Amino acid sequence: MDKNDNNTKNFQKPKISSLPGWYRKIFFWFLFALFIIILPFLFFYTTGYRLDLTKDKANLVITGGIYVGLDKLDTDVYVDNKPIKQPRIFRSAYYIQNLSSGLHRVVVQGNDLQTWVKDLPVYPYLVTKVSVFNMPLVPQVRLVSKYLTDKNKPIFNSTDDLSVILDHASSTYDISTATPEKIKKLALNEEYNFIFSLFKKSSTTKKSVLSESYYLSQDFRFATTAKITNDDFVHKDNIVLYPEAGELWAEWVGNKENIPYYFCVINSDSNNIKENYGDHVGSSIEKEVRENISILVNDRLCRTKIRVDRKNMDVYFYDFLPGYSDLILLQMEDGLYVTEIDDRSWQNTQLLYPGKDFRVIVYNNSIFVKDKEFYFEILTKVETK
């Protein structure tokens, strides 16, 4: 007999026996009982309940959350002075959970960016939504030269006093100059000629858009339903900007089901609304309820109009910030500003470009300015050279 055959006969396969029936039953009922015990805790957790151990006595509290939409990636978010270190659910948003009911301060800041701050109410089981913007701390401008080098690089006359711009703004590229004799031999910049023609055609002057004579001369017309009908008003995504009675207003003219969240508050009594959102919000809600023009959508009470905060200054120009329907571009007495329509607590307003004597045009999603004899584009993001 072969030795290998003998070894094969001596080899015994391991025997694996199944668990006894009584053991399987005990194990099943143990897991079932554990599931029944844990189920209420899972339900309470998913619906917002948390155990608060910060006090001497443990308490069960009901929590909510805040969804923070960001327009810059390199920003830090703080809630009640505590940094949010959790990963973003998207590249441009945070969902902050487990917040107790009441007001919470949200701060968003970043290097070389202006700081955004707002106090927001959090309600049990609900998520409060907010969109954030952070303009550059130093204005970012792309100067448009009249001439180009043979390599199509912008170049300026050495006699140009660019300090009137660059003393308070940062250029997106290094400035090159040439003597008047040399620069006249260079090619003309077609972009410069085009922007020059835009401002030449524009009838905008430094005249208050809030004065009665201005908006009457524009033949502004209102329907009996208080909805805007004039095509000269600034429209975007069913929001209309227009001056009325010495103020600038943003009005929703779309379907009530699609009204943006910042027009709405949680439906509650007037004192609660004023406490959580500000007296100005509560008063505007009360006014629209009396006039029967407010909108009720599920548990939200919504206004149709929001007054734009102009910091007690006159307004010479307004438009939507390119790419946004919730941010407004305002030229006021001392500069060009960006302000949010969302007025819960207050409206954040950030300076985009300082000055008292310049003109603005928004064309093809770009913001162009004529300041003194110079033309340039203003950028809303910090760019490195």
The average confidence (pLDDT) of the chain is 84
Please state, in angstroms and rounded to a whole number, the distance separating the CA atoms of residues 371 and 14. Answer: 90
Band of pLDDT at residue 212, cut at 50, 70 and 90: low
Q: How sure is the predictor about 213, in pLDDT bands with cuts at 50, 70 and 90? A: very low
Query: pLDDT tier at 202 (50, 70, 90 boundaries)?
Result: confident
What is the structure's pLDDT at 30?
A: 77
- Cα 381 to Cα 72: distance, rounded to the nearest angstrom: 8
User: Could you tell me the two tokens for 230?
Assistant: 């004039």
pLDDT in tens, 59-118: 544 568 999 999 888 899 999 999 988 665 566 788 888 888 899 999 999 999 999 999
Domain definitions of the chain by residue range: 50-131, 135-203+363-385, 212-312+342-347
Q: How far apart are alpha carbons 286 and 206 in whole angstroms?
A: 36
Question: Distance (Å, rounded) from C-alpha 267 to C-alpha 275?
Answer: 13
* Single-letter amino acid code for the residue at 348: N
pLDDT computed for residue 72 by the predictor: 86
Annotation: CATH topology of 50-131: Immunoglobulin-like (2.60.40)
Kind of pairing, strands 234-236 and 239-244?
antiparallel
Neighbours of 134 (CB within 10 A): 24
Using one digit for the tens of pLDDT, what is the confidence trace for 287-316? 999 999 999 998 899 999 999 999 999 999
Please say whether the beta carbons of 176 and 155 come within 8 A. yes
The 116-122 sheet, strands edge to edge:
82-83, 76-79, 102-109, 116-122
d(CA 128, CA 265) in angstroms, rounded, equals 10
DSSP element (H, E) containing 195: helix 190-201
At 71, the amino acid letter reads: D
Of the candidates 126, 127, 110, 130, the residue with the CA atom closest to the CA atom of residue 118? 130
Q: What gap in Å lies between CA 218 and CA 209, rounded to an integer?
A: 10
Q: Quote the tokens at residue 373.
A: 């004899």
- Which residues on neighbouring strands pair with residue 82, listed in sequence order? 79
Q: Is the pLDDT of residue 337 over 90?
A: yes
The predicted model gives 266-292 an average pLDDT of 93
Give, to the nearest 10 degrees, the angle between helix 270-277 and helix 279-290: 140
Higher pLDDT, 126 or 50: 126
Percent of the chain with pLDDT over 70: 79
Q: How confident is the model at residue 35 (pLDDT cuts 50, 70, 90)?
A: confident
